[in-house]
């Protein structure tokens, strides 16, 4: 296995209305750490696959308690259980400040994956499931639902200790938990956002569209190029990595007369060598979708201007050749089938 768990603490917490904050916590022993490796590897993969992540950095103008304790632990000045207990205290204080009613588990994990050391802070809730016992009875049980994790941050330890100015030292899930919940988590860590993956991805897609228009690629060439770029970006997102402009240039310039990197250097773009990707934004390379007012629409981007047309002046979307399943439903609704 390419993953090794150095330290792992888990704390159950409960805060309900008109009740005191209650918790139980424990630091795993060496025997438990070996058993936890599969769990941590799954959590690592789930985290990498989360569609919306951004980057942050510790901010001295915010609460620095967590960052100070983390540094003292990483410098081997305090043991892991001290860090865990202190972080749980900070977590309780933030919960009470925001007056949240919450129940779940706070995870602190110091682990290594391939050649990189990480420190992860995550909040995982419980979900119920059914199982069958040896007597074929149905049992209702609960499990840690890591697939639905929405509050988690991962710190690149090497970068934190040796590259203090790196804006990508801390990544965090920017999901559907809501603005207030995300603010609570950033306040706990004492962080502020440095790089917004959604904004960077949107700017990248805009640059790609402008480049292909400038190169006067025909519709089929544009579609093929977008598909190749999407495949590349998807692989990078799945691996938890940024896109490299040099590699994007190789893909985009295959069907063009000029280099993509030369094009963006001549325009008003400020890309770094590595670009942080947002999965939902990158998907727009090949598929367009949206919903609202009781209507949900999704179609392959290559169909825009062909079977699907939009008139912005009249705000009218026209679909030629209604999908077979939808057509059957509509004919049945009107009694025409």
The closest of 257, 186, 193, 201 to 234, measured between CA atoms, is: 201
pLDDT at 232 over 90: yes
The pair of structure tokens assigned to 233 is: 């970006």
Q: State residue 288's pLDDT score.
A: 92
pLDDT at 175 over 70: no
pLDDT at 164 over 80: no
How many Cβ atoms sit within 10 Å of the Cβ of residue 164?
10
Q: State residue 296's pLDDT score.
A: 92
Where do the domains of the chain lie? Answer: 3-195, 198-282, 287-333
Give the tens place of pLDDT for each residue, 71-119.
999 999 999 999 999 998 888 888 777 766 677 889 999 999 988 999 9
> pLDDT category, 32, cuts 50, 70, 90?
confident
H/E/C letters for each residue in the chain? CCEEEEEEEEEEEEECCCCCCEEEEEECCHHHHHHHHHHHHHHHHHHHHCCCEEEEEECCCCCCHHHHHHHHHHCCCCCHHHHHHHHHHHHHHHHHHHCCCEEEEEEEEEEEECCEEEEEEEEECEEEEEEECCCCCEEEEEEECHHHCCEEEEEEHHHHHHCCCCCCCEEEECCCCCHHHHHHHHHHHCEEEEECHHHHHHHHHHHHHHHHHHCCCCHHHHHHHHHHHHHHHHHHHHCCCCEEHHHHHHHHCCCCCCCHHHHHHHCCCCCCCEECCCHHHHHHHCEEEEEECCEEEEEEHHHECCCEEEECCCCEEEECCCCHHHHHHHHHHCCCC
Give the tens place of pLDDT for each residue, 183-228.
888 889 999 988 888 888 999 999 999 998 888 888 888 889 999 9
CB 62 within 8 A of CB 97: no
The closest of 154, 161, 53, 166 to 111, measured between CA atoms, is: 154
CB 141 within 8 A of CB 126: no
pLDDT at 235 over 80: yes
Residue 137 or residue 286, greater confidence = 286
pLDDT at 19 over 90: no
Give the tens place of pLDDT for each residue, 244-264.
999 999 988 887 888 888 888
* Whether the model pTM is above 0.85: no
């Amino acid at each position: 296995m390419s993953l090794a768990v150095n330290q792992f603490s888990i704390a159950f917490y409960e805060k309900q209305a008109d009740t005191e904050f209650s918790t139980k916590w424990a630091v795993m022993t060496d025997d438990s750490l070996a058993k936890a490796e599969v769990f941590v590897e799954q959590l690592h993969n789930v985290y990498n696959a989360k569609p919306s992540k951004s980057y942050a950095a510790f901010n001295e103008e915010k609460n620095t308690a967590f960052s100070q304790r983390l540094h003292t632990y990483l410098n081997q000045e305090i043991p892991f259980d001290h860090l865990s207990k202190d972080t749980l205290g900070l977590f309780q204080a933030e919960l009470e400040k925001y007056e949240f009613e919450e129940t779940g588990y706070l995870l602190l994990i110091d682990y290594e994956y391939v050649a990189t050391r990480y420190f992860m802070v995550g909040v995982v809730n419980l979900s119920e499931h059914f199982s069958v016992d040896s007597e074929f009875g149905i049992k209702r049980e609960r499990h840690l639902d890591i697939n639905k994790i929405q509050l988690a941050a991962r710190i690149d330890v090497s970068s934190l200790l040796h590259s203090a100015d790196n804006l990508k030292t801390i990544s965090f899930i920017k999901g559907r938990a809501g603005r207030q919940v995300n603010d609570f988590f950033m306040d706990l860590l004492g962080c502020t956002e440095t790089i917004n993956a959604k904004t960077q991805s949107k700017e990248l897609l805009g640059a790609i569209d402008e480049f292909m228009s400038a190169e006067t690629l025909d519709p089929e060439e544009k579609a093929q190029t977008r598909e190749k770029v999407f495949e590349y970006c998807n692989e990078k997102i799945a691996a938890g990595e940024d896109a490299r402009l040099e590699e994007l240039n190789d893909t985009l310039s295959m069907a063009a007369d000029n280099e993509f990197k030369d094009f963006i250097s001549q325009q008003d773009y400020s890309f770094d060598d590595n670009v942080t990707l947002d999965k939902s934004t990158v998907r727009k390379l090949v598929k367009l979708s949206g919903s609202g007012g009781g209507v949900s629409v999704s179609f392959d981007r290559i169909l825009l201007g062909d079977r699907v047309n939009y008139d912005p002046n009249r705000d009218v979307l026209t679909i030629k050749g209604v999908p077979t399943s939808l057509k059957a439903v509509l004919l049945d609704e009107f009694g025409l089938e």
